[in-house]
Structures are given as C-alpha cells and as structure tokens.
Amino acid sequence: MKLYDYTRAPNPRRVRIFMAEKGVEIPLETVDLGTDAQFDEAFTRRNPFRTVPVLELDDGTHISESIAICRYLEALYPEPPLFGSTALEQALVEMWSRRAELTGLLHAAEVVRNSIPFFADKALPGVEGGSPQIEALIERGKAGLERFFTAFDKQLENSEFVAGDHYSVADITTQVTIEFAGWRKIGIPDQCKNLARWYQQVSARPSAKA
Ligand SMILES: N[C@@H](CCC(=O)N[C@@H](CS)C(=O)NCC(=O)O)C(=O)O
C-alpha cells in the first residue's frame, strides 16, 4: 500500500493521524499541491477528483476520500476501534463525524480557500482554474465556524471526547478543522472552555505529530 499525501493539507492529515492512532505505517508519496501536481495526468488517473489523500492498494485499486480510507484501515486493523464498537457508538461517531465535516471543516475551507491568494481561481479543491474566490463566502464561513465552536463546546461539556467516552475519528476531523481555521488566525473563542480543554488533550496525543 501507498498513501498519496501532502503534509500541510488537512485531509491527508486526518488519515495520518488515524494511522498513528492505529500504529499503522504506510509509505507516503507526496503530491505537491504547491506546484499543482494533483492536476498531472498520472495523478488524475489515480483520482479523477484530483485531491489527496489517495490510498493505493497493491492490486492497483485507488481509494480516495479520507473517511473511506479510514474505514478501509479500520477493517484491516480493528484495534483500537475508531468508528465505535457498539451499534449506538457507531451511530454517534457517524453523527459527530458528519457534523464535524459539514459544520466545521467545510466552513474552515470556505474561509481559507476564498481568502488566500494562492487559491485565486482555485477556490474549489481539485478544480483546475475557473473556480474564482467569492469574498462573501469568507464571512459565511466565519459565521459557520462560530456556530461549530459553540455546538462542539456544548457537546464537550459532559463528554470527554467528541462522540462520547471514547476517542474516535470524529475527534480527528474536529482537531484538523480547528488547525485549519488557525490558518486564518481563527481560534477557539475564549468562552469555549470545554472545547479548549479537549483540544489541548488531543493535541498532546502522540498522533498529533503525524
Ligand atoms: N472530501 C475529500 C477532500 C479532499 C481534499 O479536498 N483534499 C485537498 C487537500 S486537503 C486537495 O487535495 N486539494 C487539491 C486542490 O487544492 O486542488 C476527502 O475527504 O479526502
């Protein structure tokens, strides 16, 4: 197996953290997004959506989408379970993972991709040219992130981890979302003490270095 990766990018980081939590090592190959290597013909054959991460299997199969890759690794390496164990845990992990992606990561991407000059005309990932930045989306993304911080802070008031008592893939997406928002100096609001406590805790895990 081989993972097509780009160190700075948030989505490949989700998979690297997941691998570190599992204690799984997979060779990494960098796709340099800084020089638009995702648009190369060879990489486009691996993932027509032209995004990283992509997991290449030994039989030549390619799996993209961070959560699909994590699910595959979960099936191969079930311990420790990061998608929940019981039916209820699995449903709660799914619920909070989707909330982290849809109400967190997507808004962070809205802010970052519509404001950094490097993404001018590349505001959508994997789309080569013709996707201009839209200034209004920066404000909409910031408002979305405020709602995300507040909602996740509330959840963490009585819960050690995002989806309950156990660390899970929902924690990983939430952690990476906060890091990504930090690219534009958007931090956890002062009043979100539970979220700050949790963030300190997950950032101290060895997997945070992945
Ligand atoms: N939904 C995809 C998103 C993948 C994605 O957007 N990856 C970014 C890096 S974080 C990318 O490859 N961007 C390519 C580009 O900017 O053109 C996933 O979960 O893996």
Q: Are residues 7 and 53 in the same domain?
A: yes
Is the CB of residue 55 less than 8 Å from the CB of residue 3? yes
Q: Domain of 190?
A: 87-209
* CA distance linking residue 25 with residue 51, whole number of Å: 21
- Please give the model's pTM, rounded to 2 decimal places: 0.98
- The reported pLDDT for the residue numbered 138 is 98
What's the mean pLDDT when you consider all of the chain? 97
In the sheet that holds 28-30, the strands lie side by side as 28-30, 2-5, 54-56, 62-64
Q: Are residues 54 and 95 in the same domain?
A: no
Q: What percent of the chain has pLDDT over 70?
A: 100
- 29, pLDDT greater than 90: yes
- The reported pLDDT for the residue numbered 130 is 85
Q: Are residues 129 and 162 in the same domain?
A: yes
| Protein residue with least CA distance to atom 15, ligand 1 | 125
Q: How far is the CA of 52 from the centre of ligand 1 (A)?
A: 5
Band of residue 121 on the pLDDT scale cut at 50, 70, 90: very high
Q: Are residues 31 and 91 in the same domain?
A: no
- The reported pLDDT for the residue numbered 84 is 98
| Protein residue with least CA distance to atom 12, ligand 1 | 51
- Please tell me which residue, 47 or 130, carries the higher pLDDT value: 47
* CA distance linking residue 83 with residue 153, whole number of Å: 21
Q: Are residues 176 and 118 in the same domain?
A: yes
- Please report, for the domain that includes residue 64, its CATH number: 3.40.30.10
Q: How far is the CA of 190 from the centre of ligand 1 (A)?
A: 30
Buried b (16+ CB within 10 A) or exposed e, 76-101: ebeeebbbbeeeebeebbbebbebbb
- 129, pLDDT greater than 90: no
* CA distance linking residue 115 with residue 24, whole number of Å: 36
* CA distance linking residue 59 with residue 49, whole number of Å: 21
- 99, pLDDT greater than 90: yes
Both tokens of residue 21? 């939590």
Q: Are residues 106 and 67 in the same domain?
A: no
